[in-house]
Structure formats: structure tokens, C-alpha cells
Amino acid sequence: MKQLNKDRYYKFSKYLEENFGTKVYKITLDAAFSCPNRDGTISDKGCIFCDESGSFSNLHSSLLPIKEQVQSAIKNLPSRYHAKRFIAYFQAYTNTYAPVERLKEVYDEAFSDDRVIGITIGTRPDCVDEEKIRLISGYKNPWIEFGLQTIHDKTLKLINRGHDYKCFLDAYNLCKKYNIKVCAHVILGLPDETKEDMLETAHELARIKIDGVKFHVLTVLKKSPLYEMYSKKPFKLLSEDEYCDILCDFLEILPPYTTVQRTAGTGLLTELFEPKWVKNKFETQNKIDRFLRERNSYQGIKFKS
């Protein structure tokens, strides 16, 4: 089995460099889409961990046309990056939640600059259909990011996702039919989930040979329904060591070719209630590296193909 060199897991930046021969940067775009789990279509409460701003997003002004957002995002990248190639990243809310004609207009605009060589679309698995997936498959280097969080229906219900695991699997298979790469968001430390539950999610994602994973730890944001739930009846949140330990176990189970697109992030710090340790992203990333080194382990060491 391929052992990863100095990186003990397969970073997305490395995948991009291997595939495009140069550094490629994501530029975050906001098409001002909404979310059916917030606008009352599925629910008006949202996922319990999500606050009003759409969870984990780092928004551009939604007032600017996409074309201008592309130019401004490219211009604002620090010059030390020497960035020449970009991926248009629609991150906030549900970026397939509109008629296909509207989606086409938005995605076309993202490619208004020749330096944009790919597209990543963040969405919900219940907001895609064959027509939308076919449209997306026609763009250069398409990826779709689905908020999965866990494969366990009991937890999906508890966190008010509004869809089950089968819905994700159907959407995933549709993407595979059209050769679209899929990245799944996973949250570690969801209420009532044991380490074994979380690692079952790892085994299942390994089984379907997922193309990419973004890891999050469950955080309690002040404006989220989880805050109310936690304030009334606090439950155990993961410590940094527990998170890193489970994440290392997860990486060992994933295939060595699955790209790891996020291991830690700061999110919306102003709204953060607990756990406070997530504020130090680099410390968490270093700890994950250290844990893998100490275990003399790497991504895929336990993957059974």
C-alpha cells in the first residue's frame, strides 16, 4: 500500500498540484442562494449546529455579480501566493437550490475568467437531480460537496438534517454516473454518537470510495439551535485530543487516495460558544500530524480494498 511521504494524509493541495502541475487556489463565491432547511420547505429551523449565516461560510458580498466576485477574489489573494489557477467555490447555503436555468447562469459566470479551471459546489444531497447533475458535469473539473455529517439516520434526525443516509447515497451515485467528484462533510462529536459510530461513518465512506472528506468538530455557535439545547442540558463535547485521536483513526480507515480537504478550521469565531480550543487551527493540525507520527501511522493503513 502506498505510504504518503512527509504528509501522512493526502492533502487536497497536493492532489491539485499533482493534477494541474501548479498551485491552485479556491475562490469563494456567493450566489445568494437560500436553504430549504431554513426557508420552510423542509424546515424553518435549520440543522441544529448551523447559525443564521449558513454554517462554516466566509461570505463575499452577495450584492456583487459573480463575474465581479471572481475578479475581486483573485485580486485580493496575497501576491506571495503567485496564484495563477483557481477553483470557483460556491460554499454558503445550498448552491443547487434554484431552477437549472438559473444555476447555469451562475456557474457560467464563474468561468468568465480563463484562469478558473474548476468548480466546487456545496449543497445538500436532497437538492440535486439528474438535470442539475448533468449540467454540473459539463463544467471543467467539477466537484460537489455534500453536507453528510454522519451515516447514522438516528443522528441525522436528531440534528434536523431533513434527509437520511440513503438520500446521500442516491445523490452520490448520480454524481458517479456523471463522473463528478464528491467530497463529504463529516462532523465528529455529534450528540449521542460514540467513537464506534463515527468510525462506522469512516468505514462506509471507505466502502463507497469517497473522493474527498472535510472534517469538522461539533461546535456550539451562539445563534444556533444547538446553543439552546446545550444551555438547557449540556452534553459532552470532544476535547482537542479526543478529536485528533478519532480523526487519526478515521484517516487510517479511508482509502489512501481520498483527498483530505479540511482537518481543522476556525469557522465563525465571534459566534463560538464551545469548545474554545477550535480557535487554534494550526495547533490542531500540528497535533494530528504528531499523533500520526507517534502511531507511526498514515491514511489508508487500515483500508481494505
Binding residues (CB under 6 A) for ligand SF4: these are 35, 37-38, 46-47, 50, 54-55, 93, 124, 147
Q: Give the nearest distance from C-beta 54 to ligand SF4 in angstroms.
A: 5
Q: Give the nearest distance from C-beta 149 to ligand SF4 in angstroms.
A: 9
**In terms of CB distance, is 35 or 292 closer to ligand SF4?**
35
Q: Give the nearest distance from C-beta 56 to ligand SF4 in angstroms.
A: 8
In whole angstroms, give the CA distance from residue 250 to residue 46.
Answer: 27
**In terms of CB distance, is 113 or 164 closer to ligand SF4?**
164
In whole angstroms, give the CA distance from residue 172 to residue 166.
Answer: 10
**Residue 253 C-alpha from the chain's centroid:** 18
**In terms of CB distance, is 185 or 287 closer to ligand SF4?**
185
In whole angstroms, give the CA distance from residue 79 to residue 75.
Answer: 9
In whole angstroms, give the CA distance from residue 51 to residue 83.
Answer: 32
**In terms of CB distance, is 225 or 256 closer to ligand SF4?**
225
**All cell numbers assigned to 82:** 503567485
Q: Which of 185, 210, 231 is nearest to 55 (CA)?
A: 185
Q: Give the nearest distance from C-beta 186 to ligand SF4 in angstroms.
A: 13
In whole angstroms, give the CA distance from residue 104 to residue 48.
Answer: 31
Q: Give the nearest distance from C-beta 252 to ligand SF4 in angstroms.
A: 28
**All cell numbers assigned to 63:** 450584492
